[in-house]
Amino acid sequence: MGTALRRPGSADRLDQRAAGKRRRDDAALRSELERLRNAHLYRARRVLDGPQGVRPVIDGRRVLSFCSNDYLGLAAHPALADALREGAGRYGVGSGAAHLITGHGQAHHRLEEDLAAFVGRPRALLFSTGYMANLGVISALCERGEALYADRLNHASLNDGALLAGVRLRRYPHADTAALERMRAGGDAAMLISDGVFSMDGDLAPVPDLASIAETAGARLLVDDAHGLGVIGRAGRGSLDFYRSRGWHDDGSVIVMGTLGKAFGTFGAFVAASEPVIETLIQRARSYIYTTALPPALAHATSAALTLAQREDWRREHLRGLIARLRAGAADLGLPLMASQTPIQPLLAGDAETALAWSRSLEDQGVLVTAIRPPTVPKGAARLRITLSAAHTEQDVDRLLELLRSLPGAGHEPAASAAGLPGPRRGGGA
């Protein structure tokens, strides 16, 4: 069953004050950091020297990387660099103000129009990040105390948006629409929220079923398609188009959030929806109103990226081939890849210590794959998050498979289920 957000009582407030005092004590912070290290949950940054790519220089060493979200290989594309320089020459560097003051320029406006047409919605609105976009949508469209239903494996920004909006957050089992309907039966619902492609699992949300439930409940549906746009659907139009191409009737009611720093290779985010929704966000979304607009040169470069991503369908075709090659090879080796047909291919390790050991073993041999641990994923579900890019070659995938074969404890008897379609600095990692 889902969990409802509970208002803190006096005992909770005392506990919070005590916790706050501990956080202001450096000795207590050092103790907590040491606890994280001992539990194999400590996070460390790496330093990238040069452009993003599949063979970046990380911490002074060139590696073969399978852990970026640069799915189409556009982050360092010369055409985007040229467009960024052109935009800076035309518009300058910084926007200098919020969108509602004097920061909203022609480059922003044109990109919003292009994005709206791309995803099939009347309007789009630019945000600085996907995190800010999700916070803005939920806080602007939901009232405090209303019920909001969320997939248990949603991105943290969706959960945080619900908590900050003060709604009654109820989380249903992953992709289980039958459970969602039982939880919602007879009750109110202001909004349903879900990833389109789940960032740590790589599977797709059942968007048509969620849209049907939202319609029956009189609720809005927000789909965070950060990892779907550019990658799936016709011309990379994302999760909704993936289902439209298979016969689903999209009536335009689903609110789409997309990011620009993954498949499109730049930075920023947007929300696409009906005219009234977008106008309401302009009036009420605090994460849109009270922040400086994206640099206009970046918006100019993103328009170029959007054109490139749509035109060069070979990138998605090549990516699909790499995904199939990896999954077939993993099945032959009996490796427990999770069910996914997207560039996100998680290899389950179980505990955090094993995931880290696998990641370090690969890194010792020049291949970088991030270990994902709690709280990013549930306890007992630590994994290697393998991500593929259109910039990878078949030889890159074969090299990865060769090294995965030797990971201690990774191999199992070949299992057909591992190849199914989607269903319901060193030592680092998420």
pLDDT of residue 351: 92
pLDDT of residue 15: 62
308 within 8 A of 80, measured Cβ to Cβ: yes
Model confidence at 41, pLDDT cuts 50, 70, 90, reads: confident
User: Mean pLDDT highest for which of 6-10, 23-27, 172-176, 419-423?
Assistant: 172-176
Q: Which residues contact 199 (CB under 8 A, 6 or more apart)?
A: 155, 226, 227, 344
pLDDT of residue 410: 78
Q: What is the mean pLDDT of the chain?
A: 92
290 is in an annotated binding site: no
Choose the weakest-confidence range: 20-34, 235-249, 252-266, 269-283: 20-34
pLDDT of residue 25: 87
Q: Give percent above pLDDT 70 in the chain.
A: 90
- Catalytic residue IDs: 199, 227, 262
Q: Give percent above pLDDT 90 in the chain.
A: 86
The predicted model scores a pTM of 0.89
Cα-atom radius of gyration of the chain, to the nearest Å? Answer: 22
- CA distances from residue 36 to 40, 41, 172, 375, 429 in whole angstroms, order as listed: 6, 5, 29, 11, 13
pLDDT of residue 183: 95
User: With 60 as the cut, is the pLDDT of residue 411 above it?
Assistant: yes
pLDDT of residue 10: 56
pLDDT of residue 290: 97
User: With 50 as the cut, is the pLDDT of residue 426 above it?
Assistant: no
pLDDT of residue 186: 77
Mean pLDDT, residues 278-297 = 98
- CA distances from residue 234 to 102, 270, 339, 343, 413 in whole angstroms, order as listed: 36, 19, 22, 16, 36
pLDDT in tens, 87-121: 999 999 999 999 999 999 999 999 999 999 999 99
109 is in an annotated binding site: no
Dist. CA 215–CA 25, nearest whole Å: 50
Dist. CA 58–CA 360, nearest whole Å: 14
Amino acid present at 55: R
43 is in an annotated binding site: yes
CATH top-level class of 48-72+313-419:
alpha beta
pLDDT of residue 12: 58
pLDDT in tens, 122-140: 999 999 999 999 999 999 9
- Provide the token pair at 428: 């680092």
259 is in an annotated binding site: yes
pLDDT of residue 16: 64
pLDDT in tens, 387-397: 999 999 999 99
pLDDT of residue 408: 85
249 is in an annotated binding site: no
Model confidence at 21, pLDDT cuts 50, 70, 90, reads: low
155 is in an annotated binding site: yes
CATH 3.40.640.10 fits 78-311, yes or no: yes
48-72+313-419 with 78-311: one CATH topology? no
pLDDT in tens, 183-216: 998 789 999 999 999 999 999 999 999 999 999 9
Domain residue ranges in the chain: 48-72+313-419, 78-311
Model confidence at 415, pLDDT cuts 50, 70, 90, reads: very low
pLDDT of residue 301: 98
pLDDT in tens, 316-352: 999 999 999 999 999 999 999 999 999 999 999 999 9
Dist. CA 279–CA 282, nearest whole Å: 5
User: With 70 as the cut, is the pLDDT of residue 6 above it?
Assistant: no
205 within 8 A of 172, measured Cβ to Cβ: no
